[in-house]
Amino acid sequence: MLDDAPSYPFRGPWLERTARGSLLVLGSVLLAPAVLLAGYCIRVLEATFEGREEPPPLEGWRDLSRRGVGAVAIGCCYLVGPLVVGAVAGVALGSVGYYALGVLAPLVTSEAAIWGVSLVAAAIAALLALVFVAVTLVIYYLLPAALAVYARTGTVRAAFDRSTLQGIALSGRYFLSMAVLQLLPLVVPVVAVVCLLTVVGTVVLPAIPFVAVLVSFRLVGVAVADASGRVVDNHERVPERVPAD
């Protein structure tokens, strides 16, 4: 798995594919290119599950957009949903705490009591912060697995199946792939800085994130296919083949 992913982006007609992917990276600040790029990530997972050794062709924009919409929807549910719930809970708890302090303030007169109330409030705030961090880490850990399940089954609902995600998340191969992925944010900036030192490197700079994306999703796809194919196959998939636009 570890020796396979780094060479994966350079198999097959890699130059044309990387050029197209770089354009999507440059345009990903807009909605449409970002959706297409997300759709291609799902296609990479699909190709990995099918046992292909080369990245799939970057074509068939209608099909990519359909897959990308599903991937973006899953990402929003995993990322935006908990943030909204956390914000609402934070506002609610803050309001309760504010009114509680307003009620207790006239009753608390000694310095020791004031310090006691302050310590309790600080402990509650620290506990809530720890819960928020823990939930964030769990979501970050599960999101690639959810996208892999979506790619394997073709249904958005399957990406939220708790038993399927649990089987993937607890596998050693998936844990190893996620651990390796933490190195990419350290490697990519170094490579980007080196590229900026030359004119040619500046031209190929947009290709670096695209290559990193291919490596990342190849790692996740291989880990999920190897460690939890039996679990993911609980959902039946009817593959769709759409000709290139």
**103 CB neighbour count, 10 Å cutoff:** 9
The rounded distance, in Å, linking the Cα atoms of 195 and 178 is 26
Residue 72 inside a domain? The answer is yes
Instruction: Return the beta strands (E) in the chain as ranges.
Output: none
Whole-prediction pTM value? 0.81
Percentage above 70 pLDDT, the chain: 84
Q: Decide: helix, strand or coil at residue 167.
A: helix
Pair of tokens at residue 172:
């050693």
Q: What share of the chain is helix, strand, coil (3-state, %, to 5)?
A: 80, 0, 20
Pair of tokens at residue 85:
């719930």
Residue 38 inside a domain? The answer is yes
- The domain in which residue 161 lies consists of 12-232
The rounded distance, in Å, linking the Cα atoms of 194 and 181 is 21
Alpha helices (H) in 50-110, listed in sequence order:
61-104
Residue 6 inside a domain? The answer is no
- What is the separation of C-alpha 200 from the centre of its chain, rounded to a whole number of angstroms? 31
Q: Decide: helix, strand or coil at residue 67.
A: helix
Percentage above 90 pLDDT, the chain: 40
Residue 146 inside a domain? The answer is yes
Residue 183 inside a domain? The answer is yes
Residue 219 inside a domain? The answer is yes
Residue that wins the pLDDT comparison between 81 and 102: 81
Residue 29 inside a domain? The answer is yes
Has residue 50 got a pLDDT over 60? yes
Has residue 210 got a pLDDT over 90? yes
Report how many domains make up the chain.
1
Category of 51 on φ-ψ map: left (φ > 0), alpha (ψ -120 to 50) or beta: left
**Cα distances (angstroms) measured from residue 217 to each of 110, 113, 181:** 59, 55, 10
Residue that wins the pLDDT comparison between 35 and 195: 35
Residue 21 inside a domain? The answer is yes
Sign, CA torsion 12/18/20/25: positive
Q: What is the pLDDT of residues 104-161, one digit of tens each?
A: 666 666 666 666 767 777 788 788 888 888 888 999 999 999 999 999 999 999 999 9
